Amino acid sequence: MSRRLLRVMSICILASCRNRGGDTDAREPQRTYGLGATATAAQIAAVDVDVGPDGAGLPPGHGTPNEGQVIYARQCASCHGDRGEGKAPLYPRLVGRDPIAEGFRFGQDERLPKTIGNYWPYATTVFDYVRRAMPLNAPGSLTNDEVYAVTAFLLSANQIVPGETILDSAKLAAVRMPYANRFVKDDRKGGREVR
């Protein structure tokens, strides 16, 4: 057997091993075109604002519910109300653990008010969203400490964390929301069955 044939065979074997890694052929790169510029770490850091449900991406910093209440009154209450009650239809209710809406019966009655406390499955989402999008008229203007404080205030007002919490990345990542286990993967698949 020639050396070249052996080499071709070993490449084929390597390739088939690679395919057995569990990924489909669709993910095999077809080719590249040498387009685009290499992104520097600084260019990535400038826009890489996302936070994951495991706390990945949370920045250094901390804040308390009391600090957050002051910021909330100044930056958030004009739309979301003094106590997070919201203003329909544009500004959602944020706070509330009314017994009437506890138990996740939203599928039966659309009027039950959804809040961070009785619906949102991840506490990290509060931080991520406030940092991305709030306040409405000056998004991205809060410091990380202020975002931690507002997050702490909203979680405390929803009876998720104690009022004396000093919220930081580790504490936020450890928060478990009461109804997280109610969220299920889409099980619709087409075909005759209506789901």
- The smaller minimum CB distance to other proteins, of residues 7 and 108, is found at 108
Structure tokens at 19: 């395919």
Is 128 a residue that touches other proteins (CB under 8 A)?
A: yes
CB 117 within 8 Å of CB 178: yes
CB 123 within 8 A of CB 155: yes
Task: Report, in Å, the least distance between residue 173 CB and other proteins.
Answer: 12
CB of 48 to other proteins, least distance (A): 7
Judged by CB under 8 A, does residue 124 bind other proteins?
yes
- Cβ of 125: how many Cβ atoms within 10 Å? 16
Q: Answer for the pair 151, 123: CB distance below 8 angstroms, yes or no.
A: yes
Q: Does 16 bind other proteins (CB under 8 A)?
A: no
Q: 2 vs 30, which CB is nearer to other proteins?
A: 30
Q: Is 99 in the site for other proteins (CB under 8 A)?
A: no
State whether the Cα torsion 74-76-80-84 is positive or negative: negative
State which of residues 81, 129, 145, 178 lies at the interface with other proteins (CB under 8 A): 129
Q: Which of 1, 2, 90, 99 binds other proteins (CB under 8 A)?
A: 90
Give Cα 179 to chain centroid, integer Å: 15
| x-marked contacts with other proteins along 24-63 as a string, rule CB under 8 A | x-xx-xxxxx-xxxxx---xx--xxxxxxxx---------
Give yes or no for residue 169 binding other proteins (CB under 8 A): no
Amino acid at 154: L
**Residue 144's closest CA among 156, 131, 163?**
131
Distances (CA, A) of 85 to 12, 54, 113: 63, 28, 10
- Out of 6, 9, 14, 103, the residue judged to bind other proteins by CB under 8 A: 103
Pick the closer one to other proteins by CB: 2 or 24.
24
**Total residues binding other proteins (CB under 8 A):** 65
- DSSP 3-state of 63: strand
* Prior bond of 89 cis (ω within 30°): yes
Site for other proteins, rule CB under 8 A: 21, 23-24, 26-27, 29-33, 35-39, 43-44, 47-54, 89-90, 92, 103-112, 114, 116, 119-122, 124-125, 128-129, 132-133, 136, 139, 182-192, 194-195
